[in-house]
Amino acid sequence: MSPAFCRLCGTALRLARLSGDEQSRLHCPACGYIEYENPRVDVGCLALGFGTDPVLRTLSLRSGERVQDAALRSLGVAAGEDDISLYCALSDRSGGAVCLVFRVSQQVALPAHVAPVEAPAWQRALLARFSRDAAAGRFPVYTAELPAAGEGLLLREVSSS
């Protein structure tokens, strides 16, 4: 059963679709707390865009959707599972949010409308690492904690390919 009041501040929760989310969720209008019934799983794809800057696009996993399909959906281009490889698995401290980032094979060309967007600091840090890995021609797999505001992204290399 869903709670009626905010676990943090006690304010009555409201059901609404929040920015960047695809489904309605109970949230607190006072403190911003969101009552997720499951861990939020975001999936993204890193790809080399037009010019030199790589692009990272993320979206939320839909109920019943495979992670690989979500990654391909985030790309918005025709690509197959063979074109993507896991690059980084991130989780926040509470385990309430998970983000799986795949990298896209360089054979897949992103269309012109896939332009870099203003990204949070941890995504910019991951993009910078991806650029260095691409220059070196070596793509390890990383794990990391989703950093709180003002914290840096600490990538831990767990394997290399």
Q: Under rule CB under 5 A, how many of the chain's residues touch Zn ion?
A: 8
CB of 22 to Zn ion, least distance (A): 23
Quote the CA–CA distance of 142 and 148 in Å, as a whole number. 18
Does 8 participate in binding Zn ion (rule CB under 5 A)? yes
CA 54 to CA 85: how far, in whole Å?
16
User: Which part of the chain contacts Zn ion (CB under 5 A), choosing from 16-24, 29-37, 38-46, 116-124?
Assistant: 29-37
* CB nearer to Zn ion: pick between 35 and 145: 35
Least CB distance to Zn ion at residue 31 (A): 3
Nearest-angstrom CA–CA distance, 70 and 92:
20
DSSP reduced 3-state for 141: strand
Task: Verify binding: residue 12, Zn ion, rule CB under 5 A.
Answer: no
The token pair at 140 is 């390890």
